[in-house]
Structure 1
């Protein structure tokens, strides 16, 4: 209901669900819900990360690896360090180790928040690729920083080289475990007699298997899921039949929608639990600390993104040759898209109640600051992002997609036509259905060549889009006629459902075309 309402009023649903959960949580008499961090890490995180990895293009991910690495590793460490020193100076009794714990908690932007806010907005594809790629890896690096800082508080020892070595070992072994399990699953999908239902079930087992195995050996479960998901996604065309692909996609869309909805509304519902433990602080103190740190996290990202985008181009000729210098507007959108989410809250809740037999210092303050940072970045940045994109006049130039679509249609129709002529030439001459199909492919090639030839002609592009609009309108007309046939009981229910499904697939193809 809340998601439908968010669609109606035009607000991204993660933002709306957090606000709704916040309002529901303060209603008198409402039961307090305590979010267990183990539930988030074990139940929610693996499938959400796996789905994000599955829908990420490995080619685009690898092409943007420098930008993604600088954000998902460099920015996380930079944010954690800056937050550590600022909180150490700002909050009485806050040690540097505690500051690094907080920095590790609030450093990673949320994958779902960024992509859902950008959904439907016309932004360059590279911006979306960088943000999605960043959100796949930054959870792992932030959790490693968090664990190292927490261990420092518990043991009282911190050795820089050892922390760096642990970081690399945890990350590398997580990737190796994820890829190893992905190869086993590849063999099962590819060579065993699976059905669409078995394939779908295996895709749900996969992320949990990767995550639990890696975490059992104290390595990065996040990187295990991401690396395994990217590998299987890259090989998906070899693994699944069309039935498996369709069933898996539909089921995953529903499950991920439910998981995201639950996670974001649970964030809002945590406020009463967070506030209960703040008795030793005044309202002014905790609010001022939280707001200052929220603003700092936003500024840190902006300070990092611009130099990391332009300085490598200034220093390295190879970067200048491979990549076009980006305008500052899309770079600013990347810098502004730092909305925090459920991983930050789960990390804060994972702070132990006791350390060395004593209450963990400032634990309730950690929770409150984390909650406010999530709320501040998600609501303030998330709500302002569409207006910023419009104000900065950022648009995604879809010409490349139009050309790619036309080129692919031409190539596919050409090979289909060549195959028909080589194997069914006699039937084409003698039977009308074969001849009509041949003419259809010839028309597809003709239309694709026309698009490629006139891709820069605004009038031609307008007519092509009007042509697609006409086809969609014809589908609506066909649906109206199917409705009449159903009322007249002229055709069987099975035939009506078959034709409706055909129209659904045709509409999906037209609406997904650039």
Structure 2
């Protein structure tokens, strides 16, 4: 049995890799392609039925996926966009859940309002990976990507809290608004507290314990599970624990990780997250036979009509919410008008259209209990089918049309003054490097040509350093080469210190700073390995 399961997992990993390469070849975002491929594969005769356990998603898949998204999110950008992120991740989730609740209870016979809120909680959160993977490589403003990524970090927590309250209401038949609101803030707030407490502990471990790159990388994988399980144990939001802890550690990572740890963990995490995302999306497609098998008394035409209507309504609801949420604060607040540039209706539409659903919705639907008071849970199979169709409908319709719409609307990335920022950061790094050379290597600069050239054309001399002076026998020249390499390594350290000052001064974007840090990591690794 274990051999069969292991073979199935390995086969899935292989299929995901092959299909992802194919999706890149034909130019389709891989989450969309994998869901459709999984759907087609599920109809192949003799294919084993694969059941996606909700515990697998919530415990195995969700923590690292959320942690990775939080780690790659700039806290500075997140905080600057907190108003639109909050309106989408909390306000829109509640608005969507409420609208779906009243709509579904009106069109589906026997579907209560509490059942409607349960369905609304399931399908209200857009998926993080789907939106960002579709937008990858497209020229859209950085703020749009920041808002969508920030929304996806928090909306899972909001929707799961709505989902829990709906389950409790169905089970007990009671719902008290003020208690629900109080519990919402307790669950969310304490989830953040748990995440930050564990993040501070791990920060201390990374900074003061004698870790190695392998230990640091291993700890980064353990961390999201610690945060999620600890928060869920106390019935707080595990999602917000992982998100808050991940944002904190990412913001402080430059203080605790050496270049080897950063490089190793980056490459390992990219591989693992790619495989986890791929497996999750192909498993969504493979679920259709299991979902359809449980429809029972409903006809296919009935459930498809319900699902399509609700799918269209979720898309329209997002558009209705996003435009007032974008422009009303500008009308009501002079501070907002002065602080933020007016967003165009085209970029606002991209945010409104990027509401693709994903694995959290399906996992929530699968997490609905099988029974209630000893009987089959009412409408469970119908909720599962509607959820599957909403995921498929939004992924295919919105996901495939989004690149075309961006080109049609002629949306371009203004670069957010990136050219000027690059000039600033390059000038500051060059200045501190030259000052250090003149203070510590004045003699070498006057005696050896490479030192003089480095003052004028630093990058070209780095490219020549290893090839020009490594294969010589003269002891004096070998000593010079060692001193030269030592100086280059020391200059990398000086640049790191200046990067920290640039981050503190907030004159450049976090994205550009991280790019420069990665360049310095690679530069230091090459210099040390060549020595």
* TM-score, with structure 2 as normaliser: 0.83
Q: Distance in 1 between matches of 2:178 and 2:415?
A: 47
Q: Distance in 2 between matches of 1:332 and 1:439?
A: 48
Q: Distance in 1 between matches of 2:144 and 2:97?
A: 24
**Alpha carbon RMSD of aligned pairs, Å?**
2.1
- Offset, 1:257: 0.4
Which of residues 76, 80, 99 is equivalent to 2:116? 99
1:402-447, CA deviations, whole angstroms, 9 ceiling, x for partnerless residues? 2211210111000110111112112211222322222224999xxx
1:343 equivalent in structure 2: 360
1:105/1:397 CA distance change after superposition, 3 Å: same
2:246 equivalent in structure 1: 229
1:457 equivalent in structure 2: none
Matching of residue 207 in structure 1 with residue 224 in structure 2: yes
Higher mean C-alpha displacement, 318-327 vs 53-62: 318-327
| Structure 1 segments (4+ residues) deviating >3 Å | 441-444
**SS of the residue aligned with 1:235?**
helix
Higher mean C-alpha displacement, 23-32 vs 175-184: 23-32
Q: Distance in 1 between matches of 2:96 and 2:224?
A: 28
1:316 equivalent in structure 2: 333
Q: 1:150-299 alignment to 2 at 5 Å?
A: 150-299=167-316
**Which segments of 5 or more consecutive residues in structure 1 lack a partner in the other structure?**
445-473, 479-504
Higher mean C-alpha displacement, 261-270 vs 414-423: 414-423
Is the 1:417–1:441 contact (alpha carbons within 8 Å) kept by the matching residues of 2? no
Q: Distance in 2 between matches of 1:282 and 1:421?
A: 81
- Offset, 1:279: 2.3
1:35 equivalent in structure 2: 52
- Offset, 1:275: 0.1
Matching of residue 109 in structure 1 with residue 126 in structure 2: yes
**Which segments of 5 or more consecutive residues in structure 2 lack a partner in the other structure?**
1-17, 467-514, 523-531
Q: Distance in 1 between matches of 2:43 and 2:380?
A: 22
Is the 1:413–1:442 contact (alpha carbons within 8 Å) kept by the matching residues of 2? no
Q: Distance in 2 between matches of 1:124 and 1:434?
A: 41
2:411 equivalent in structure 1: 394
1:192/1:10 CA distance change after superposition, 3 Å: same
Is the 1:417–1:442 contact (alpha carbons within 8 Å) kept by the matching residues of 2? no
Q: 1:292-307 alignment to 2 at 5 Å?
A: 292-307=309-324
Q: Distance in 2 between matches of 1:186 and 1:38?
A: 28
Q: Distance in 1 between matches of 2:69 and 2:56?
A: 19
Matching of residue 75 in structure 1 with residue 82 in structure 2: no
Q: Distance in 2 between matches of 1:383 and 1:4?
A: 17
Q: Distance in 2 between matches of 1:389 and 1:81?
A: 30
Q: Distance in 2 between matches of 1:398 and 1:95?
A: 49
Is the 1:414–1:441 contact (alpha carbons within 8 Å) kept by the matching residues of 2? no
Matching of residue 56 in structure 1 with residue 73 in structure 2: yes
**SS of the residue aligned with 1:186?**
helix
User: How many residues are treated as equivalent by the alignment?
Assistant: 455
- Offset, 1:399: 6.1
Matching of residue 438 in structure 1 with residue 452 in structure 2: no
**SS of the residue aligned with 2:343?**
coil
**SS of the residue aligned with 2:309?**
helix
Q: Distance in 2 between matches of 1:208 and 1:11?
A: 32
Q: Distance in 2 between matches of 1:399 and 1:41?
A: 37
- Offset, 1:509: 5.2
Q: Distance in 1 between matches of 2:424 and 2:221?
A: 35
1:371 equivalent in structure 2: 388
- Offset, 1:29: 1.6
